Amino acid sequence: MRKHLIRGLIAAALLSASSTAYAQPAPDHRWSVDFGIGWDRTISGNINSGAIGTLNGQAAVILRNKYDDVYGTGLHVRFGAGYLLQEESELRVAFTIQSLDADLTRMGDLGLSNLYGQYDDYQAFGLDFGYRRYLPFKHTIRGFGEGLIGVAVIDETDVLLAAPSANFIGTATDFYDKTAAFTVSGNVGVAFAVRENTDAFAQVGLRYTTGMSAVDNLNGTGLDTINDHSARCAVPFSIGVRLRF
């Protein structure tokens, strides 16, 4: 008798939970679009590695340069869209444009001269897909966390080399070829409701981009490994607005 009673109570509880879930109202605004602008700070990754070899018939020493040495903090613009599966969970797609200006960089030595390099600006166009989870703090404030994977198309990167004392100047054409790199990223942020269907948000995250495609125009010089390890990890921060409809 007790077993039948327990089974009946369990069945009733399951039925009640199922009915409650079924009866839960759908979100008023399932679709959303957003626009954000912000900055990227590279925390790891080499735009070129170190090597010893020959260039223009002279002994050359190439020093390692990190992305942060050459590009520093860059601008990104982000367009996104989302679809609410439930009130707190959302499928996401985001398109990101990145642009980082390059500084003149000491590359190493060529013969008795210092060797300098001027890289092209870093330009990338990314498309990411992922999932976001919201956490209500107050009626008008929600935190969120998201994870995304995607691909970034990075423009061809050349570098202009110059060694003043050796009277040498030349361009390493296609130092990196145009590249489709794999990306993985995660973000956390806060959204503030400013109108019934409009939010302002701020977010910060971590984004990993696999290495760029090296062009082997330095084969036989001993310098052909300087662009082998070009994966990049950055911390993006952005602010923006989100419209729900």
Give the closest residue to 94 by CA, choosing from 36, 135, 41, 134. 36
How far is the C-alpha of 130 from the C-alpha of 150, rounded, in Å?
9
pLDDT in tens, 108-162: 999 999 999 999 999 999 999 999 999 999 889 999 999 999 999 999 999 999 9
pLDDT score for 175: 85
pLDDT at 95 over 90: yes
The secondary structure element, H or E, covering residue 26 is none
Topology of the domain covering 28-244: Porin (2.40.160)
Burial of 191 (0-12, 13-18, 19+ CB in 10 A): buried
Mapped onto helix, strand or coil, the DSSP state of residue 154 is strand
For residue 137, count other CB atoms closer than 10 A to its CB: 12
Q: Which tokens hold the place of 28?
A: 């008023």
How far is the C-alpha of 214 from the C-alpha of 94, rounded, in Å?
27
pLDDT score for 219: 67
The pTM for the full model equals: 0.84
Domain residue spans of the chain: 28-244
pLDDT score for 225: 86
Give the closest residue to 127 by CA, choosing from 99, 154, 155, 94. 94
Q: What angle do CA 83, 84, 87 make, to 5 degrees?
A: 165
Cα of 165 vs its chain's centroid, Å: 40
How far is the C-alpha of 32 from the C-alpha of 26, rounded, in Å?
15
pLDDT at 19 over 90: no
For the chain, percent of residues with pLDDT exceeding 90: 73
CA dihedral 219, 224, 155, 205 (to 10 degrees): 160
